[in-house]
Amino acid sequence: MFAEVLTIGDELLTGHTVDSNSAFIASKLTEQGYWVRRITTVGDDVEEIKAVVGEILARKPEVLVISGGLGPTHDDVTMLAVAEALGRKLVLCEKCLERIKAFYEKLYSEGYIDDPSLNEGRKKMAYLPEGAEPLENTGGAAPGAFIEHKGVKIFVLPGMPREMKAMLEKEVLPRLGRRKFLQRKFLAEITDESKLAPILREALERFNVRIHSSPKGFGKYIGLIIFAEDEGELEKTVEYLESRGIRLEEA
Instruction: Catalog residues that contact a second copy under the rule CB under 8 A.
Output: 10-20, 22-30, 35-44, 48, 52, 55, 71-75, 107, 112-115, 119-122, 160, 183, 191-198, 200-201, 204, 210-215, 218-219, 225
Task: Give the shortest CB-211-to-a second copy separation in angstroms.
Answer: 7
β-sheet bridge partners, residue 185: 225
Q: What is the DSSP letter of 132?
A: P
* Shorter beta-carbon distance to a second copy: residue 94 or 120: 120
Cβ distance to a second copy smaller for residue 192 or 239: 192
Provide, rounded to whole angstroms, the least separation between the CB of residue 120 and a second copy. Answer: 7
Query: Using CA atoms, how far apart are residues 29 and 62, in angstroms rounded to an integer?
Result: 11
Determine contact, residues 44/10, Cβ cutoff 8 Å.
Answer: yes
Nearer to a second copy among residue 201 and residue 244 (C-beta): 201
Residues in the chain: 251
Q: Which CB, 113 or 242, lies closer to a second copy?
A: 113
Closest distance of CB 148 from a second copy, Å: 24
Phi, psi of 207 (to 5 degrees): -125, 155
Separation of alpha carbons 81 and 196, rounded Å: 46
SS3 assignment, position 244:
coil
Query: Quick one: which of 49, 94, 54 has its CA closest to 70?
Result: 49
Closest by alpha carbon to 128, among 78, 171, 91? 91
* Beta carbon nearer to a second copy, 37 or 89: 37
- Residue 202 beta carbon to a second copy: minimum distance, rounded to whole angstroms: 10
Report which residue type is found at 208. Answer: N
Q: What's the sign of the alpha-carbon dihedral 75, 76, 81, 83?
A: negative
Minimum Å gap between C-beta 91 and a second copy is: 20
Shortest Å distance, C-beta 131 to a second copy: 26
Q: State which residue, 115 or 250, has the beta carbon closest to a second copy.
A: 115
Phi, psi of 38 (to 5 degrees): -155, 145
- Sign of the CA dihedral with 170 first, then 174, 176, and 179 last: positive
Please state the closest distance from residue 228 (CB atom) to a second copy, in A.
14
CB nearer a second copy, residue 70 or residue 156: 70
